[in-house]
Amino acid sequence: MDNVPTLLNKVKQCALAEEIPTLSDLLTIGDVPLADLVRAAHEVTAAKASSVFNFCAIVNAKSGRCTENCHWCAQSRHFEGQCGIYPLLEDEKILQAAFAAQKNGATRFSLVTSGRKLSRREVREAAEIVKKLKSETTLEICISAGLLTKEEFDLLAQAGVCRCHCNLEASENFFPKVCTSHTTADKLKTIHAARMAGLEVCSGGIIGMGESRKDRIELALTLRKLEIPSIPINILEPIKGTPLEHMEPISEEEIIRTVALFRLVNPKAYLRFAGGRRRLSDTATQLALKAGINSAIAGDMLTTKGSAIEKDKFLVQKCGYLLEPLT
């Protein structure tokens, strides 16, 4: 272990040069003292990532009765998790959510829908909603609507969508343990289709589902190879009625280590705190911010509560980030 500090510096220098570290090196440095790992990741964050913190917001635009069997999700019809059930929301309700998000400091707003994918009719309806959002707000509009095709993304891009959200959720090896109704290959096909339509891509995962640290590093490496610019990091919140309801919570230290390793792998990306972070102490949140978190989803998530935006802003500025100006 005498050479581990030297190896940590090697990985840091690799990140600063925007080169991709090896899985072996990342596994070896994963157990260095937390302060040393955070310090290395912070140096990379300061040198390579944006210092302007980005807040986005989401609306649960279609909820429940999902055909997919994602083990973490209350919206799957295969399990007994409790959630609202409704079709695609009418445009006025979505506009109200967007106005509130913009007022609270969000600059991005995403329509998130349940199900394997929106139908062709729903894609057309979503496109009309996006046109209204673009005409009545200054928000950048994102879409998380399942396994859409290039033609469907084309229609949404023409309406004003700028980014597709499609989480890989976990490493390719681990994903079949928590979902069998679709595959990592299906998600990669969706990401390719979105890019072919000219959209940016937001893709990350959920930690704390029983995966190993190696699985988390493999996910980080896959996202780097895909050159994903925005990487949501969700922390599992076990939901009653889902297969993961009794999962032991991942520790705060392991969450911070994960953030640091993701930053060392993805030096320029926005690492975006998403679901589950409300259970973190202020101390752990600040360490995660120092280690590389430079964006977040503000407000409530899909079927769980989020964090208060004003508290988020306070901690973000306390850690040295600038707030994104509203246009």
Cα dihedral 180, 163, 144, 327, rounded to 10, equals 150
Question: In angstroms, what CA-CA distances link 192 with 20, 149, 166?
Answer: 21, 9, 11
Compute the mean pLDDT over every residue in the chain, rounded to the nearest whole number: 94
Q: Does residue 302 surpass a pLDDT of 50?
A: no
CB 172 within 8 A of CB 184: yes
Name the nearest CA neighbour of 72 among 299, 316, 320, 274.
274
User: Which helix (H) or strand (E) covers residue 8, if one does?
Assistant: helix 4-16
- pTM for the whole thing? 0.95
In angstroms, the CA 206 to CA 233 distance is 6
For the cut 60, the answer to whether the pLDDT of residue 221 exceeds it is yes
Query: Which residue, among 242, 229, 238, 240, has the nearest Cα to 209 in the 3D structure?
Result: 238
| pLDDT tier, 139 (very low <50, low <70, confident <90, very high otherwise) | very high
Residue 301 in this model has a pLDDT that exceeds 90: no
Asked if the model's pLDDT at residue 33 lies above 80, the reply is yes
Average confidence (pLDDT) over 78-84: 80
Q: What is the pLDDT of residue 84?
A: 84
Q: Are 140 and 169 in contact (CB under 8 A)?
A: no
pLDDT of residue 316 exceeding 90, the answer is yes
Residue 225's identity, in one-letter code, is K
Alpha helices in 139-278 (DSSP H): 150-159, 184-196, 213-225, 252-265
How many C-beta neighbours within 10 Å does residue 249 have?
14
Are 5 and 32 within 8 A, CB to CB?
Answer: yes
Contact 176, 183 (CB under 8 A): yes
Under the banding of pLDDT at 50, 70 and 90, the label for residue 4 is confident
In angstroms, the CA 318 to CA 327 distance is 23
Q: Are 198 and 170 in contact (CB under 8 A)?
A: no
Residue 158 pLDDT > 80, yes or no?
yes
